Structure formats: C-alpha cells, structure tokens
C-alpha cells in the first residue's frame, strides 16, 4: 500500500512554489511550475524516508512505525491540486 502525506504548497515572495511535508521535518522543495514541484516533492519524500530509515537503523521501513509518521488523507489528482491552488489565488 502506498503511503500518503499531507503536502503544504505556498508561493514565496519571489514567485516560487514551495512544498513542505509537515509530518516529515526538513522535507521541502521549491520550483517555478506545479508539475516540476510535484515531481520534486515526491523525490524529497522518498529521500526523507530513506534518511529516516538509515537514522533509525531500519533500512526499508521509511522511518515509520506503528505509531506512524504518515498523515493519511485522500489522494488528490494533479487537476484537483491545480483547482485548489487556483481557488487559493495562486
């Protein structure tokens, strides 16, 4: 089963889109386009989970335990993300 994470997307003062994952401290990235941002945040999540697993001495677990580091929310399609960003004024 794929893990799902809440991703917060904001626009900074220079016009970049910035994405962060609240449940994964330090997991963030930025890009000029939404498509690029989505690809980058997926890679950032993968790397954050990999590092957490290494730090906890449990490679392959992604650093998640039964207590969880995952926020389970309904997955959004790219079109739904774009619509939500447009409604928020991005």
Residue 52, pLDDT score: 84
Mean pLDDT for all residues in the chain: 77
Domain boundaries defined on the chain? 8-87
Does the CA dihedral 75-42-27-2 come out positive or negative?
positive
- C-alpha 14 chain-centroid distance: 21
Does the CA dihedral 78-82-84-85 come out positive or negative?
positive
Does residue 5 have a pLDDT over 60?
yes
Strand partners of residue 85: none
Helix, strand or coil, per DSSP, at residue 76: coil
Residue 53, pLDDT score: 82
Q: Say which CATH topology domain 8-87 has.
A: Double Stranded RNA Binding Domain (3.30.160)
Span 26-52, pLDDT tens digits: 999 999 999 999 999 999 999 999 988
Q: How does residue 57 score in pLDDT terms, banded at 50, 70 and 90?
A: low
């Amino acid at each position: 089963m794929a893990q799902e994470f809440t991703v917060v997307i904001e626009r900074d003062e220079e016009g970049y889109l910035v994405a962060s994952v609240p449940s994964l401290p330090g997991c963030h990235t930025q890009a000029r386009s939404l498509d690029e941002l989505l690809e980058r945040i997926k890679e950032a999540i993968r790397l954050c989970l990999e590092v957490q697993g290494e730090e906890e001495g449990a490679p392959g677990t992604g650093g998640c335990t039964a207590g969880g580091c995952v926020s389970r929310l309904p997955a959004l399609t790219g079109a739904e993300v774009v619509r939500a960003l447009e409604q928020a004024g991005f």
